[in-house]
């Protein structure tokens, strides 16, 4: 299996300015993400940024840094520019790994790339976990997805979907979308030419733009529990504590 990982990294963050460069047990967060991605089966890992501070920091641990335009509205646009810079072929696979996922399992990266390769009708592949908490089910920050019997996404929403009847006996409340994506380069090239669609704006979910244009998204169940990313100061401290404890245990 051949695929490339691209890690989009922006300096701006409302709650955590300079988030990719924040120190976690002696390394910037971005380096932790990069090193996790290197443990996957990807034949190359690149960092994509429009910020000189991130480029300078990343250059201390890799030469695979791609400078991109500062006008991109999403990580998907940034990844497409990197694919174009690298001259990737239309059928090649690119995995988007977020720069604030310092604990991402390499197995998840492999799985999403593998699933896209195995499903030629899909232009995108992603992952989900079962929801077992009603609080998470009703939390708009937890994106829900419903799928067909072949595992293709039917819809994504911040609302609780599917609706559960009062006497429902399912063991889970639904499926929570995990924000890791594998794309075919041809899909990326088409995606960046499309304007936003009403559903995308309403839900604040850019994958709905692709679905609105007929792109099929394959959803696979994560093979292991996915650690949370870093969005808040509390998240940052939790990751620091976890990795510090891991170092002590060695």
What's the average pLDDT block by block, 10 residues per block, for the chain (250 residues)? 91 82 94 96 96 94 93 88 96 95 95 97 96 91 94 96 68 88 97 95 95 97 86 89 78
Please report the pLDDT score of residue 226 as a whole number: 83
User: Does residue 76 sit in the same domain as residue 171?
Assistant: no
Instruction: List Cα–Cα distances, 138 to 23, 141, 173, in angstroms.
Output: 33, 9, 10
User: Does residue 152 sit in the same domain as residue 188?
Assistant: yes
User: Does residue 81 sit in the same domain as residue 146?
Assistant: no
User: Does residue 4 sit in the same domain as residue 52?
Assistant: yes
Answer whether 122's CB lies under 8 Å from 103's CB. no
Cβ neighbours for 70, distance < 8 A, ≥ 6 positions apart: 50
Cβ neighbours for 92, distance < 8 A, ≥ 6 positions apart: 2, 3, 4, 83, 184, 185
User: Does residue 144 sit in the same domain as residue 91?
Assistant: no
Residue 231 placed within a domain: no
Count of domains in the chain? 2
Please report the pLDDT score of residue 245 as a whole number: 84
Please report the pLDDT score of residue 164 as a whole number: 74
- Buried b / exposed e along 229-247 (16+ C-beta atoms within 10 A): bbeeeebbeebbeebeeee
Tens of pLDDT, residues 58-89: 999 999 999 998 888 888 999 999 999 999 99
CA distance 80 to 248: 40
CA distance 222 to 214: 24
User: Does residue 81 sit in the same domain as residue 127?
Assistant: no
User: Comparing C-alpha atoms, which of 159, 120, 157, 117 is closest to residue 138?
Assistant: 159
Domain of residue 62: give its range. 1-102
User: Does residue 68 sit in the same domain as residue 32?
Assistant: yes
Decide which of 102, 137, 153 is a domain's last residue: 102
CA distance 215 to 192: 13
> Which residue do the tokens 């002590």 mark?
248
Q: The domain that contains 163 carries what CATH number?
A: 3.90.550.10
User: Does residue 76 sit in the same domain as residue 118?
Assistant: no
User: Does residue 211 sit in the same domain as residue 113?
Assistant: yes
Please report the pLDDT score of residue 72 as a whole number: 85
User: Does residue 109 sit in the same domain as residue 220?
Assistant: yes
Residue 249 placed within a domain: no
For the purposes of burial, counting CB atoms within 10 Å of the CB of 120, is it exposed (0-12), middle (13-18) or buried (19 or more)? exposed
Please report the pLDDT score of residue 167 as a whole number: 55
User: Does residue 64 sit in the same domain as residue 117?
Assistant: no
Please report the pLDDT score of residue 166 as a whole number: 53
Please report the pLDDT score of residue 240 as a whole number: 92
Longest C-alpha distance within the chain, in Å? 57
User: Does residue 97 sit in the same domain as residue 148?
Assistant: no
Q: Torsions phi, psi of 174, nearest 5?
A: 150, -160
Please report the pLDDT score of residue 169 as a whole number: 58
The alpha-helical segments, DSSP class H, found in 96-166 are 106-118, 134-137
């Amino acid at each position: 299996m051949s695929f490339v990982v691209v890690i989009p990294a922006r300096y701006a963050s409302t709650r955590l300015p300079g988030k990719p460069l924040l120190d976690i047990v002696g390394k910037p967060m971005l380096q932790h993400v990069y090193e996790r991605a290197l443990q996957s089966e990807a034949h190359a890992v690149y960092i994509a940024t429009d910020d000189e501070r991130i480029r300078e920091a990343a250059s201390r641990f890799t030469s695979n840094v791609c400078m991109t335009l500062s006008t991109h509205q999403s990580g998907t646009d940034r990844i497409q520019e990197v694919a174009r810079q690298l001259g990737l072929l239309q059928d090649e696979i690119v995995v988007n790994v977020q720069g604030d996922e310092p604990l991402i399992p390499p197995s998840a990266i492999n799985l999403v790339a593998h699933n896209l390769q195995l499903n030629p009708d899909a232009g995108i592949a992603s992952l989900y976990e079962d929801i077992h908490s009603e609080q998470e089910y009703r939390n708009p920050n937890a994106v829900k997805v419903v799928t067909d019997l072949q595992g293709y996404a039917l819809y994504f929403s911040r609302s609780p979907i599917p609706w559960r009847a009062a006497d429902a006996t399912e063991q889970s409340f639904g499926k929570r979308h995990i924000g890791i994506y594998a794309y075919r380069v041809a899909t990326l090239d088409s995606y960046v030419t499309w304007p936003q669609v009403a559903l995308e704006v309403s839900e604040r979910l850019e994958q709905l733009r692709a679905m609105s244009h007929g792109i099929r998204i394959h959803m696979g169940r994560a093979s292991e529990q996915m650690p949370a990313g870093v969005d808040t100061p509390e998240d940052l401290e939790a990751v620091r504590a976890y990795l510090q404890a891991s170092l002590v245990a060695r």
